[in-house]
Chains A and B, each alone.
Chain A
Amino acid sequence: MSHVAVWRPPSPWPARWMGPGVWLALAAFVAWNVWNLEVDAARVARGLARAGTVFGRAVPPDFHRWELLLEGIVESLQMATLSTALGTVLGIPVAIMAARNVAPLPVYAAGRGIVSLGRTFHEIIVAIILVKAVGFGPLAGMLTLTVNSLGFFSKLLAEQIEQIDRGQVEAVRVTGAGRGAVLLYGVLPQVLPRIVGLTVYQWDIHLRQSTIIGIVGAGGIGTTLYNSFSRYDYDFTLAILLVIVAIVSLGEWVSAWARRRIQ
Chain B
Amino acid sequence: MLEVSALAKRYPTGDEALRGVSLTVGNDEVVFVIGPSGAGKSTLIRCINRLVEPDAGSITLDGLEITTLPPADLRRARRQMGMIFQEFNLVERLTVMENVLSGRLGYVGLWQAWRRRFPPEDVAMAFATLRRVGLDGMENKRADALSGGQRQRVGIARALVQRPKILLVDEPTSSLDPKTSGAVMALITELADEERIPALINIHDVPLARRFARRIIGLSAGQVVFEGPPAALDRAALGVIYGGAGEELEGALA
Contact = CB atoms under 8 A, between A and B. Distances in A.
On whether A and B touch (CB less than 8 Å), the answer reads: yes
B175 interface: no
A3 B127 CA distance: 8
Interface string B107-143: 0000000011100100110110001000011011000
A3 B139 CA distance: 11
Given A10-B95, A10-B98, A5 B123 contact: yes
A7 B161 CA distance: 16
Q: Is the interface of B mostly helix, strand, loop or mixed?
A: helix
A5 B131 CA distance: 12
B97 interface: yes
Size class of A's contact patch?
under 10
Nearest to B120: A5
A9 B115 contact: yes
B223 to A, nearest CB: 45
A195 to B, nearest CB: 38
A174 B136 CA distance: 61
Interface in A3-62: 3, 5-7, 9-10
A3 B136 contact: yes
B95 to A, nearest CB: 5
A242 B120 CA distance: 58
A6 B118 CA distance: 11
B43 to A, nearest CB: 35
B109 to A, nearest CB: 15
A6 B124 CA distance: 8
Contact of A10 (B117, B123, B140): B140
Central interface residue in A6, A7, A9, by most chain B CB within 10 Å: A7
B97 A7 contact: yes
B137 A7 contact: no
B220 to A, nearest CB: 43
Nearest to B124: A5
Central interface residue in B117, B124, B137, by most chain A CB within 10 Å: B124
A5 B127 contact: yes
Contacts of B137: 3
B123 A7 contact: yes
Contacts of B136: 1, 3
Contact of A9 (B117, B126, B131): B117
A168 B116 CA distance: 55
A16 to B, nearest CB: 13
Contacts of A5: 120, 123-124, 127
A69 B166 CA distance: 69
A5 B97 CA distance: 12
14 contacts: A1-B136, A3-B127, A3-B131, A3-B136, A3-B137, A5-B120, A5-B124, A6-B123, A7-B97, A7-B127, A7-B139, A9-B117, A10-B98, A10-B140
Interface of B: 95, 97-98, 115-117, 120, 123-124, 126-127, 131, 136-137, 139-140
A-B CB proximity, top 6 nearest: A9-B116, A5-B124, A7-B123, A5-B127, A10-B95, A3-B127
Interface of A: 1, 3, 5-7, 9-10
Given A5-B127, A7-B127, A10-B140, 16 more contacts: A1-B136, A3-B127, A3-B131, A5-B120, A5-B123, A5-B124, A7-B97, A7-B123, A7-B126, A7-B139, A9-B98, A9-B115, A9-B116, A9-B117, A10-B98, A10-B116
